[in-house]
């Protein structure tokens, strides 16, 4: 089975902090994605990557950056956390962009 692991299940940070969310997949998938999910707004794509060191902006990239130095790892960075970035963050991976396999999510609270 594909395993997508997110480093933290719950995270509490202060406004202005730099936040790193880590995601690791063990199936050699080319594509990796970061989504955030908010009530009433559904899943929104922040960034995705289709290869090492490659990245593409999704629908809501503002305030975020990403890093993919190795194929199995995709990091989401909040440069200066703000309260409106309080959300559930979901990492996903796929082979050739088809079926997505999701991690268990990180509930981030920015105070």
Q: Which two tokens stand for residue 72?
A: 């199995």
Is 105 or 108 the residue whose CB approaches other proteins more closely? Answer: 105
Residue (of 79, 90, 91, 87) closest to 110 by Cα position: 87
- For the four alpha carbons of 69, 66, 4 and 7, in that order, the dihedral sign comes to positive
Does 10 contact other proteins by CB under 8 A? no
Which residues 39-98 are close enough to bind other proteins by CB under 8 A? 40-43, 45, 48, 50, 56, 58, 90, 94, 96-98
Which of these ranges, 20-28, 64-72, 75-83, 99-107, lies near other proteins under the rule CB under 8 A? 99-107
């Amino acid at each position: 089975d594909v395993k997508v692991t997110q480093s933290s299940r719950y995270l509490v940070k202060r406004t202005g902090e730099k936040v790193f969310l880590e995601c690791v997949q063990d199936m050699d998938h080319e594509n990796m994605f970061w989504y955030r999910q908010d009530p009433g707004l559904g899943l929104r794509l922040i960034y995705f990557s289709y290869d090492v060191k490659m990245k593409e902006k999704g629908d809501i990239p503002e305030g975020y950056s990403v890093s993919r130095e190795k194929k199995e790892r995709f990091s989401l960075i909040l440069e200066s956390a703000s309260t409106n970035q309080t959300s559930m963050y979901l990492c996903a991976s796929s082979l050739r962009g088809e079926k997505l396999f999701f991690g268990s999510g990180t509930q981030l609270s920015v105070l």
